[in-house]
Structure 1
């Protein structure tokens, strides 16, 4: 395989998978570090009612998995057609698959485990993914131009935009 073919394959994979695999590896590695650190430090639990935390955690995980699969099934046609996906969960946020993991599943796990330490991990994940996703958004701007820029203005990255404030100069 020559260099140009290899670069072309890598670019195609980046377009399909974005920063997902890199972010997933970093997220899992950081989770392993937090599991180890939590076993050493043993911070206090978040609340005494562990059963309530477990129920809330399970609900968040189930919702996150549903959002992930809904996003994936919606996005399949985009991969085939090469168009910017603006329907389904993509109407509300630009990165619903990542949102599923960092806004619902990871916090669900943290609440299920009922530890402050894992809640710190969730905060770290959000900061990390906001940084990582910027690279993917540059690729999207390069691919879709103003259409993506307009889409980005009206949608949230990991949370739906409820309101948009404009200041007229």
Structure 2
């Protein structure tokens, strides 16, 4: 499928949010407890592992753009058996975990903005995937967007 202007806008905003996350802002810092710090690091490590495995599972289908690559296949194994967008989930886990560890309200706010972006980006992506893969609609019914579904429809 051919990339559209929307593909570049989504990726551009994503890169901008990543850059904003990196800015050291202390204005919204909060008092950190050791438990929050440790939980944050645990979330960060789990996110890194999940992201790495998810990228390996996606293999040649991997692209930062929401439009699927030409010749791609629908992946329904590994993390993709339970979650439609595990790479987005892993990025959010890493950034949220680090924000907790650093006790940075600023980083947590940027992560929330990224969650909002990922919601809209994944909605757009799923429209494209539904066109590319007719069985995507059924796949969508049995998997969660960012987290596994607890209850089936």
Same fold, judged at TM 0.5 (above): yes
Cα-to-partner distance string for 1:55-100 (whole Å, 9 max, x where unaligned): 2121111100100111111112667973210000001110111110
> What's the Cα RMSD here?
2.8
1:164 paired with 2:152, answer: yes
3-state SS, counterpart of residue 83 of structure 2: coil
Question: Where in structure 1 do 4 or more consecutive aligned residues deviate above 6 Å?
Answer: 17-20
Q: Distance in 1 between matches of 2:84 and 2:8?
A: 12
In 2 relative to 1, CA 20–56 (structure 1 residues): closer, same or farther, beyond 3 Å? farther
TM-score of the two chains, using structure 1 as the length reference: 0.72
Q: Is the 8 A contact 2:10 2:121 kept in 1?
A: no
Distance 1:144 1:158 in 2: 20
1:29 Cα deviation from its structure 2 partner: 3.0
d(CA) in 1 for partners of 2:8, 2:76: 17
Which structure would you say has the larger RCO, counting Cα contacts within 8 Å and 6 or more residues apart? 2
Deviations 1:113-145 (A, max 9, x none): 112332222222211110122221111111002
Query: Where in structure 2 are there 5+ consecutive unaligned residues?
Result: 63-69
- Is 1:68 aligned to residue 31 of structure 2? no
After superposition, the Cα gap between the structure-2 partners of 1:60 and 1:18, relative to the gap in structure 1 and judged at 3 Å, is: farther
SS in 2 for 1:90: helix
- Identify the residue that residue 43 of structure 1 maps to in structure 2: 28
User: 1-side partners of 2:83 and 2:12: how far apart?
Assistant: 20
How many pairs align?
Answer: 144
Higher-Rg member (1/2): 1
Deviates more, 1:149-158 or 1:113-122: 113-122
